[in-house]
A = this chain, B = another copy of it.
Amino acid sequence: MPSEFNLSAFLPYRLAVLSEQVSRRLAAEYGRSHDLSVAEWRVLAHLLGSGAVSVRDIRGRVNLEKPRVSRAVSRLERFGLVNKAPGDVDGRLVAISLTDRGRAVLDEIIPEVLGVQRTLEEAVGPEELATFFRVMERWHAVLDREQAEMPHQAATLGDRRQGPDRP
């Protein structure tokens, strides 16, 4: 009888709580100052490193569902932070790119969020930090592998995987 269980010490719970806490702290930066959602912030941040990209490109690298990216981009466009042009080679694709205004906003936000990151990084030793990242990557890999291995018990109902769309 495993009536022994402590939620507070349960790894997934701890992880979720910390992640929510960090997200809140972060959203307090870009949300308050520029009225951006998490999705919008991620899209902007990704665009900084890449040139013009499609919704599909963004989706994969930013870990957001398709409709969420699409809506984030639309809103960012309304605010003049990104540009949406029909792709000239493939008519379905949309070429999304940062505007100058978007770049300016990022230049304001990035130092702030880097400040949050620095606060966290400085609160622990460098080796601890390195270990933390290493563990995160390890788990990421483990979960990816697990997920890839177990679409045999699929079709059970309530299957959360994405439809016929995954690359």
Residues in A lying within 8 Å of B, measured CB to CB? 1-3, 5-8, 10-28, 31-32, 35, 38, 42, 45-46, 48-49, 61-63, 103, 106-107, 110-111, 113-114, 116-117, 119-121, 123-124, 128-129, 131-136, 138-140, 142-143, 146-147, 156-160
- The CA of A145 and the CA of B113, in the complex, are separated in Å by 18
Q: Using A22-B139, A129-B135 as known contacts, list a sample of 15 further A-B pairs with CB atoms less than 8 Å apart, ordered by residue number in A.
A: A2-B110, A5-B48, A5-B49, A5-B114, A7-B62, A10-B113, A11-B22, A12-B22, A16-B19, A16-B22, A17-B140, A19-B19, A120-B139, A120-B142, A123-B142
Query: In the complex the two chains form, is B132's CB within 8 Å of A25's CB?
Result: no
Report which of B23, B26, B32, B107 forms a contact with A156, defined as CB distance below 8 A: B32
Query: In the complex the two chains form, is B45's CB within 8 Å of A5's CB?
Result: yes
Give chain B residues whose Cβ lies under 8 Å from the Cβ of A103: 3
Report which of B13, B45, B129, B147 forms a contact with A7, defined as CB distance below 8 A: B45
Report which of B2, B24, B111, B132 forms a contact with A131, defined as CB distance below 8 A: B132
Query: In the complex the two chains form, is B135's CB within 8 Å of A124's CB?
Result: yes
Query: In the complex the two chains form, is B107's CB within 8 Å of A158's CB?
Result: no
Give chain B residues whose Cβ lies under 8 Å from the Cβ of A10: 45, 113, 117
Instruction: Please indicate which of the listed interface residues A111, A132, A159 has the most CB atoms of chain B within 10 Å of its own CB.
Output: A132
Residue of B nearest to A24 (CB): B160
- The CA of A111 and the CA of B120, in the complex, are separated in Å by 34
